[in-house]
Chain A
Amino acid sequence: MSKELSRRTFVQGSALAGLGAATLGGATLFGCSSELAETGADGKAEPAPVEEKIVWNHCAINCPGRCALKLHVVDDEIVRVETYAADSDDMDDIQPRACLRGRAYRAWVNHPDRINYPMKRAEGSKRGEGKYEQITWDEAIEIIARNYQEVIDNYGPEAVYMNYCTGNYGVTARPWFRLLNSLGNGYLAFYGNYSLAQLMWITPYIFGASVGAGSSLSAARDSDLVLMFGTSPVETRQGGAVSHHDYVAMREMTKGKIYVIDPRFNDSLAGRSDEWLPINPGTDAALVAAIAHELIANNQVDKEFLDTYCVGFDEATLPASAQGQHKSYQDYIMGTGYDKVEKTPEWAAPITGIAADKIRALAGEIAAAEALFVDQGWGPQRRSNGEMTGWSICMLPILTGNIGLPGTSNGLREGSYSVNLTSMPDGENPVKAKISVFSMVDAIDRGHEMTEKADGVTGVDQLPCDIKFVINYAGNCITNQNSDINWVHDVMSDESKCQFVLGSDILMTDSLKYSDVILPDLFRLEQPSMIGTGGDGGYMLAGSEPYAPKFERKSAYDAAALIAAALGKEEAFTEGKTQEDWLRECYETSREKDPELPTYEEAMEMGVYTRKNPAGAVIAMAEFRADPVANPLDTPSGKIEIYSEALADYIAAHEFADDDFVAPIPVYAPEWYGAETVTDEFPLQLSGFHYRGRLHSSWGGVEILKELNPQEAWINPADAAERGIEQGDTVRVENQFGAMELLAKVTPRVIPGTVACAQGAWHDADMNGDRVDKGGCINTLTTHRPSPFAKGNPQHTNICQVTKA
């Protein structure tokens, strides 16, 4: 903190002293070292002007924004962070403007708790206590290599695991899989992710593996009815050339009526209250079922589309194995299916919290729409019933035939038009076994018991061993971003389980405290880097390092190369190349595929390369719609599957819990901890959302962002009054898994009965004491039980009680 203060004091002092001294160009011309600060603060010495250089680089956290950073650098210090912007009234001019987080990079890069040296766990301290002592790189590499070899020798490569991480993206940003393959043994891989595991798993059953997203938001400009399920595009992708901007542009240009169906009046609704349709969390599928009921009852489904492009809507298109058993979607909706419950609006009203007449009115608007655009965020699927919910939402465009045409989407999240770059190759992994990304701690705890039938292991029937060696790089998914932190702590701190954890990061995150050795990493913006991405329009960002690595920090690539060398595989890993050599080589491969790209040198000079979508907008599944015979989907039938025979077979061959509602059609599945299963002890639902001041837990330790993005529990005035809670009170949110304390935001912007809490706050609990998390990290209260199919993270499926702390 003192460092930050002295820097500000100095720079402000010189700005004031130098006012009018235009030739010096103001405050940003001056460096920020503590020596200069003293000189400046006393106001006597005249600081000599020093040369400022501009260096392009890019944001690299888990947001497809990856926005442009135009760094002003003086004396090896970043003195200002600009972005890529032009003074243009054209909303379609592609400008990847960095968001508030991008503009706070200086406070993060210069954080007083930045990791500067290799460290090992302090003698006598337990894993998880976070006590470390500085060591040399040589010693660090020796410990890592020795533990790796021991684990390989004693347990085999299935005991080696690289954990999911989202803190560092770029074409050369992920050297660790390549390292593990270069060492010749491979590793236990994962499938899925924490963003959309459930939807990723179910989508191939619906639309086939080649369909992963919906139409671009720009397509909704031609829609006359836009339904946004559980999504806030302006919050989740905040940059100036991704969903934030694209949504603002779309809603300004579309003629369509927009509804945002969300438990929270989220920021995509700001100023547009007539668009909010509040819903109980986890009940979107019930709303869809009731709308489907109305469409069917009123003969408003697109029967021709359902017969031509889909299977399983009614008996006529069911596969032979399902015929004559009332297994169609229509049977389920109309009360002749497996549960014999008619899905009327009256049935859905108490479940969803949406009155029956409103459901009928919405169904009427859907039926009347000429071009319906349905978009779902990844919140509705990040739940215990996420596979079924994600599939259900897609039913609205399917039932009405609003797929593959202008102004429509397929019900998945908005797609994008991107510039695609080739990444450094990972090499071949000889290990066939994979686990769900959410199962890492389980696989440390009881990996040898985990099976294909019960736990979603793939490639083998059962894991041969537990995980014993973990690499946790630029990721906070051991505790903070994983579920049930108190349970994870117990597993991870038991040193008889996992033998060794290698951590590498830029700050001491909660997850990093479970490392045995820590390597000091560089930010992406401190290395040469490139990345391609897009929203309505595509773009590529390229840049170089503003200064040489400071202290003993090294790039992940260089660190991995040292480990490879210690294990005799340096040549296999590097092939004699530096990171920049790889960057150049990967880029040349990209240019072979996409000859319009500028040269490497040009790209580095430009920093930002943009490209408009020549088609105007991405229309999901347009080719299939145009000719379903010539362009079949990647499903067994080649059509959209409303009844999935493959899923029926999967269900028959796998084990599920009694309260897992699984079906080969998209049904409403009541949740384990949901709207219909709150208890007297925990009478409220608790749902997370993405926060503007963090990207998951990235930036979570940056004070200037924390100050203006306070960690709050959104609670409806009715729920607050019942508990004597007022705006700004510190409250305790508690359930069967743990307790956290944070501030109350008492607001009509959240539906009664639900508490909403931004995910990603830094966990801050005395794990040897009461374990009450003072940081307000929602994963203190989330379950580590995986969703039934994807074995994904159901992190919004929680119930709780709230009291004044």
Chain B
Amino acid sequence: MAQLAFYFDGTRCTGCKTCVFACKDKNNLDTGLAYRRVWEYTGGTTEKGADGTCTTSCFSYYTSVSCNHCDKPICMANCPQGAISKDDETGLMAVDAESCIGCGTCVNACPYGAPKVDPETVKAVRCDGCADLVAAGELPACVMACPARALKFGDAGAMAALGERGAVAPLPDPAETEPNYFMTPTADARAAGSDEGFIGNPLEVA
């Protein structure tokens, strides 16, 4: 089975969220729904001493993530309806709206929080890797949107040649689902599971 994958260059990402909005436009997503998220992970301190001068150990970086079309899709394994499928030819995940009952099991199962339940249709929705564009020989909307050119998409082998499986905070340990998400971390990046920092933009990734 072939598998498509995302590559994310953390050294290029500036956190602008153009990928998120290109995705929202392509998929007609209003407020309340986004298939891609950009996490800010921040830590350290910035302090002033008694003499008024400043010292800082602050670090901060962004990570753009959608559905990672995992090798071990825990969402699919847990779906009580068998509504989630992985395409044989592309490895891209999809939800069958007919069978989905909107129970949210996939939402809770996915350590990346990739699937969402559309509050209007009460069906699970998610990044499908822009399967229609990919079928037409194009690349996903997010990839072609990035002004800093931090995203790539292609055969998992080719993407894996560019970087490691994503394993930086606030992402989970990739061993859990084996995400098809390969990346180059920034100098500031902390390892998955780190407690050195915190989610700096909670309202933007809700």
Residues of A within 8 A of B (CB): 4-5, 7-9, 11-13, 15-16, 19, 22, 25-28, 80-83, 85, 87, 91, 97-101, 103-104, 106-107, 234-235, 238-240, 244-245, 248, 252, 265, 267-274, 276, 278, 349-350, 353-356, 358, 692-693, 703-705, 707-710, 716-718, 727-728, 743, 745, 747-753
Give the distance to chain A from B30, nearest Cβ to Cβ, in Å. Answer: 5
Instruction: Evaluate contact between A91 and B31: CB separation under 8 angstroms.
Output: no
Kindly state whether residue B93 has any CB partner on chain A within 8 Å. Answer: no
- Residue of A whose beta carbon sits closest to that of B29: A8
- Residue of A whose beta carbon sits closest to that of B203: A710
Residues in B neighbouring A27, C-beta threshold 8 A: 27-28
Kindly state whether residue B189 has any CB partner on chain A within 8 Å. Answer: yes
Kindly state whether residue B34 has any CB partner on chain A within 8 Å. Answer: yes
Residue among A271, A703, A718, A728 making CB contact with B203, cutoff 8 Å: A728
Instruction: Evaluate contact between A276 and B58: CB separation under 8 angstroms.
Output: yes
Instruction: Evaluate contact between A749 and B46: CB separation under 8 angstroms.
Output: yes
Residues in B neighbouring A107, C-beta threshold 8 A: 30
Docked Cα-Cα span, A271 to B141, in Å, equals 25
Known: A107-B30, A752-B46. 5 other contacts (CB 8 A): A8-B29, A83-B22, A91-B149, A276-B56, A278-B46
Pairs across A and B, CB under 8 Å, 10 listed: A7-B28, A8-B30, A97-B146, A100-B18, A100-B21, A355-B53, A358-B53, A692-B16, A708-B203, A727-B202
Instruction: Evaluate contact between A747 and B24: CB separation under 8 angstroms.
Output: no
Kindly state whether residue B72 has any CB partner on chain A within 8 Å. Answer: no
Give the distance to chain B from A760, nearest Cβ to Cβ, in Å. Answer: 16
Residues of B within 8 A of A (CB): 10-18, 20-22, 24-32, 34, 42-48, 51-62, 94, 97, 118, 120-121, 123, 125, 132, 135-136, 139, 141, 144-149, 186-189, 200, 202-204
Instruction: Evaluate contact between A350 and B52: CB separation under 8 angstroms.
Output: yes
Residue among A13, A707, A747 making CB contact with B121, cutoff 8 Å: A13
Docked Cα-Cα span, A5 to B30, in Å, equals 7
Docked Cα-Cα span, A34 to B188, in Å, equals 49
Give the distance to chain A from B175, nearest Cβ to Cβ, in Å. Answer: 24
Residues in B neighbouring A750, C-beta threshold 8 A: 46
Docked Cα-Cα span, A11 to B125, in Å, equals 14
Residues in B neighbouring A267, C-beta threshold 8 A: 14-16, 62
Instruction: Evaluate contact between A704 and B14: CB separation under 8 angstroms.
Output: no
Instruction: Evaluate contact between A85 and B31: CB separation under 8 angstroms.
Output: no
Give the distance to chain B from A693, nearest Cβ to Cβ, in Å. Answer: 8
Instruction: Evaluate contact between A704 and B30: CB separation under 8 angstroms.
Output: yes
- Residue of A whose beta carbon sits closest to that of B95: A16
Given A271-B187, A728-B202, A252 and B144 contact (CB-CB distance below 8 Å): no
Instruction: Evaluate contact between B56 and A708: CB separation under 8 angstroms.
Output: no
Instruction: Evaluate contact between A718 and B48: CB separation under 8 angstroms.
Output: yes
Instruction: Evaluate contact between B189 and A271: CB separation under 8 angstroms.
Output: yes
Instruction: Evaluate contact between B25 and A81: CB separation under 8 angstroms.
Output: yes
Residues in A neighbouring B149, C-beta threshold 8 A: 91, 240, 245, 248
Instruction: Evaluate contact between B52 and A240: CB separation under 8 angstroms.
Output: no
- Residue of A whose beta carbon sits closest to that of B45: A748
Instruction: Evaluate contact between B12 and A5: CB separation under 8 angstroms.
Output: no
Docked Cα-Cα span, A411 to B154, in Å, equals 42
Instruction: Evaluate contact between A708 and B16: CB separation under 8 angstroms.
Output: no
Number of A-B contacts (CB under 8 A): 219
Instruction: Evaluate contact between A353 and B56: CB separation under 8 angstroms.
Output: no
Residues in A neighbouring B60, C-beta threshold 8 A: 265, 269-271, 273, 749
Instruction: Evaluate contact between A22 and B135: CB separation under 8 angstroms.
Output: yes
- Residue of A whose beta carbon sits closest to that of B135: A22
Docked Cα-Cα span, A692 to B179, in Å, equals 29
Give the distance to chain A from B60, nearest Cβ to Cβ, in Å. Answer: 6
Docked Cα-Cα span, A766 to B139, in Å, equals 48
Docked Cα-Cα span, A617 to B158, in Å, equals 33
Docked Cα-Cα span, A696 to B97, in Å, equals 41
Residues in A neighbouring B148, C-beta threshold 8 A: 234, 240, 244-245, 248
Residues in B neighbouring A358, C-beta threshold 8 A: 53
Give the distance to chain A from B200, nearest Cβ to Cβ, in Å. Answer: 6
Docked Cα-Cα span, A693 to B59, in Å, equals 23
Residue among B32, B43, B57, B147 making CB contact with A99, cutoff 8 Å: B147
Instruction: Evaluate contact between B58 and A273: CB separation under 8 angstroms.
Output: yes
Given A273-B44, A748-B46, A234 and B16 contact (CB-CB distance below 8 Å): yes
Give the distance to chain A from B96, nearest Cβ to Cβ, in Å. Answer: 8
Given A100-B16, A100-B20, A273 and B31 contact (CB-CB distance below 8 Å): no
Residues in A neighbouring B21, C-beta threshold 8 A: 100-101, 103-104, 704-705, 708
Docked Cα-Cα span, A238 to B10, in Å, equals 17
Residue among B12, B25, B31 making CB contact with A80, cutoff 8 Å: B25
Instruction: Evaluate contact between B24 and A704: CB separation under 8 angstroms.
Output: yes
- Residue of B whose beta carbon sits closest to that of A65: B147
Docked Cα-Cα span, A298 to B125, in Å, equals 65
Instruction: Evaluate contact between A270 and B14: CB separation under 8 angstroms.
Output: yes
3 tightest A-B CB contacts, nearest first: A271-B186, A240-B147, A271-B61
Residues in B neighbouring A747, C-beta threshold 8 A: 42, 200
Residue among B27, B46, B136 making CB contact with A716, cutoff 8 Å: B46
- Residue of A whose beta carbon sits closest to that of B189: A271
Docked Cα-Cα span, A676 to B10, in Å, equals 39
Residue among B28, B34, B43, B58 making CB contact with A12, cutoff 8 Å: B28
Give the distance to chain B from A25, nearest Cβ to Cβ, in Å. Answer: 7
**Interface centre among A87, A270, A707, A728, by most B CB within 10 Å?**
A270
- Residue of B whose beta carbon sits closest to that of A87: B139
Instruction: Evaluate contact between B34 and A752: CB separation under 8 angstroms.
Output: no
Residues in A neighbouring B32, C-beta threshold 8 A: 707
Residue among B18, B28, B94 making CB contact with A8, cutoff 8 Å: B28
Residues in A neighbouring B13, C-beta threshold 8 A: 270-271
- Residue of A whose beta carbon sits closest to that of B34: A708
Docked Cα-Cα span, A26 to B27, in Å, equals 10
Residues in A neighbouring B146, C-beta threshold 8 A: 97, 240
Given A355-B53, A728-B202, A270 and B58 contact (CB-CB distance below 8 Å): no
Instruction: Evaluate contact between A270 and B186: CB separation under 8 angstroms.
Output: yes
Instruction: Evaluate contact between B16 and A238: CB separation under 8 angstroms.
Output: yes
Given A12-B121, A104-B25, A238-B147, A709 and B204 contact (CB-CB distance below 8 Å): yes
Instruction: Evaluate contact between B25 and A26: CB separation under 8 angstroms.
Output: no
Docked Cα-Cα span, A116 to B84, in Å, equals 44
Residues in A neighbouring B26, C-beta threshold 8 A: 28, 80
- Residue of A whose beta carbon sits closest to that of B128: A19
Docked Cα-Cα span, A368 to B44, in Å, equals 30
Residues in A neighbouring B97, C-beta threshold 8 A: 16, 19
Docked Cα-Cα span, A8 to B202, in Å, equals 25
Instruction: Evaluate contact between A5 and B120: CB separation under 8 angstroms.
Output: yes
Instruction: Evaluate contact between A692 and B17: CB separation under 8 angstroms.
Output: yes
Docked Cα-Cα span, A234 to B15, in Å, equals 9
Residue among A240, A248, A265, A692 making CB contact with B58, cutoff 8 Å: A265
Docked Cα-Cα span, A463 to B67, in Å, equals 63
Docked Cα-Cα span, A599 to B59, in Å, equals 50
Residue among A25, A745, A751 making CB contact with B46, cutoff 8 Å: A751
**Interface centre among B18, B56, B59, B144, by most A CB within 10 Å?**
B18
Instruction: Evaluate contact between A749 and B145: CB separation under 8 angstroms.
Output: no
Residues in A neighbouring B187, C-beta threshold 8 A: 271-274
Give the distance to chain A from B49, nearest Cβ to Cβ, in Å. Answer: 8
Instruction: Evaluate contact between A239 and B28: CB separation under 8 angstroms.
Output: no
Give the distance to chain A from B16, nearest Cβ to Cβ, in Å. Answer: 5
Given A278-B54, A353-B52, A85 and B203 contact (CB-CB distance below 8 Å): no
Residues in B neighbouring A703, C-beta threshold 8 A: 30-31
Docked Cα-Cα span, A16 to B126, in Å, equals 12
- Residue of B whose beta carbon sits closest to that of A752: B48
Docked Cα-Cα span, A748 to B53, in Å, equals 15
Instruction: Evaluate contact between A103 and B145: CB separation under 8 angstroms.
Output: yes
Given A25-B132, A99-B16, A353 and B31 contact (CB-CB distance below 8 Å): no
Instruction: Evaluate contact between B24 and A354: CB separation under 8 angstroms.
Output: no
Give the distance to chain B from A373, nearest Cβ to Cβ, in Å. Answer: 19
Instruction: Evaluate contact between B30 and A353: CB separation under 8 angstroms.
Output: no
- Residue of A whose beta carbon sits closest to that of B16: A692
